[in-house]
Amino acid sequence: MQSYDFFIGFELTRHCNLRCAHCMRDDLDLTANLPIEFIQSILEQATAYNKPHIAMTGGEVTLHPQFGEIIDLLVEMGYGFHFVTNGTTFPKVMQRIGPYAGGGYWKGVSISLDGATEETHDAVRGAGVFKKALNAIALCRAKGVPVTIQMVVNRLNRHEMRQMAELCTRMRVNQLFIAHMQPTPHGLRDDIVLPPEDWLKVDEEVLQLGQTFRLPIYQSAGHYDMIPLSHCKFLRNGALNIDYVGRLTVCCQLSNTGGMGDEARDVVADLNKVTLAEGHARLLDVYNDVHKARLHKMHAGGLQGMDNYHCWFCMKHFKKLNYMKNFPNHPWVKGDSEVNREVADHVKRMRAYQ
């Protein structure tokens, strides 16, 4: 499966049929959908970017009432695309957009799988979802649509990473991405967010799995990274994210997290009101502020171990963590001291994989 040099991400809808234990989105009870006319207007403006790849997420993208028409539009306009899905609606999805498989524009599907067993996946995502997700993988494989599996590691599935690699190998998926569960208010309440020192161990295990399996296995954005400034595609100017009401935001990880609602500081521009060119120019300034904040902290000697979890740094920078005052004893709240001791050893071990 290809990696995309530049992509525009649309959160097609905020609607979702699941309520996953780890979900970062705050307001899934909303049913807001991006109008197709708005999407068309962005795609017209995006021709200036030389037809970038289009990535779609949500909510559950396939529940957008005009999902099929949006895919028709992308193909008519000549945009390559993929989307992230929980897999529950796939038989219907395949009926509608299956004819695009193998045609060149449909580049693949990312299917979320948060357990290698029915018991674990369904504990995270709800009863019956594992079987549907496996069926979605099988349908894609049968049609030759490349499949990426996304696993988000938390206390409920931490023990199944190797099994996940085995399952993905058996199911002949194209690649496996493993992410950390970013802290959420309900994740802390339910005690499923792993402490920072466990994240280091997970990072190491992912690298080990990558060396053991033939299947390509990668760390998703948010892992421990000593790079000083720009960790992800967004901060490297390789991606844009447009939320479910048409606002340009810093990235898809921060969008509608942390209970900030409409006051969110990661919202950069309303693309219903300003052009993509204007919004993107504003976004560059916001990215630059993140880089400068890291730069200043680094030169002042304060860029601490946990700040090398770049998404954690961003969540602090964009004030997404106000809710954490309700959990004063949680390891993420207590701070860096414990982790820094572990980091030095961890970094030495990680070098072995580079």
Ligand X SMILES: C[S@@+](CC[C@H](N)C(=O)[O-])C[C@H]1O[C@@H](n2cnc3c(N)ncnc32)[C@H](O)[C@@H]1O
Q: How far is CA 71 from CA 7, 15, 98, 140, 234, in A?
A: 16, 18, 11, 16, 24
Indicate the residue among 122 and 166 with the shorter CB distance to ligand SF4. 122
Residue 108 contacts ligand X per CB under 6 A: no
List phi, psi (to 5°) of 323. -65, -20
Indicate the residue among 51 and 316 with the shorter CB distance to ligand SF4. 316
Q: Residue 161 touches which of ligand X, ligand SF4, none (CB < 5 to 8 A by kind)? A: none
Residue 16 contacts ligand X per CB under 6 A: yes
Indicate the residue among 1 and 77 with the shorter CB distance to ligand X. 1
Interacting residue with ligand SF4 among 116, 151, 200, 221 (CB under 6 A):
221
Check if the beta carbon of residue 81 is closer than 8 Å to that of residue 54.
Answer: yes
Q: Residue 254 touches which of ligand X, ligand SF4, none (CB < 5 to 8 A by kind)? A: ligand SF4
Under rule CB under 6 A, which residues in 39-58 are in contact with ligand X? 57-58
Residue 184 contacts ligand SF4 per CB under 6 A: no
Indicate the residue among 45 and 118 with the shorter CB distance to ligand X. 118
**What does the alpha-carbon distance between residue 312 and residue 322 come to, in Å, rounded to a whole number?**
13
The sign of the dihedral angle between the CA atoms of 61, 243, 4, 276 is positive
Q: Which residues contact 137 (CB under 8 A, 6 or more apart)?
A: 87, 111, 147, 149, 171, 173
Q: Which two tokens stand for residue 1?
A: 């499966």
Residue 314 contacts ligand SF4 per CB under 6 A: yes
> Site map for ligand X, 22-41, x if CB under 6 A?
xxxx----------------
Sheet holding 175-180, edge to edge: 217-219, 175-180, 147-153, 106-112, 81-85, 53-58, 7-13, 239-242, 247-249, 267-270
Under rule CB under 6 A, which residues in 183-212 are in contact with ligand X? 184
Residue 234 contacts ligand SF4 per CB under 6 A: yes
Q: Which two tokens stand for residue 89?
A: 């609606």
Q: Which residues bind ligand X (CB under 6 A)?
A: 16, 22-25, 57-58, 60, 84-86, 112, 150, 152, 179, 181-182, 184
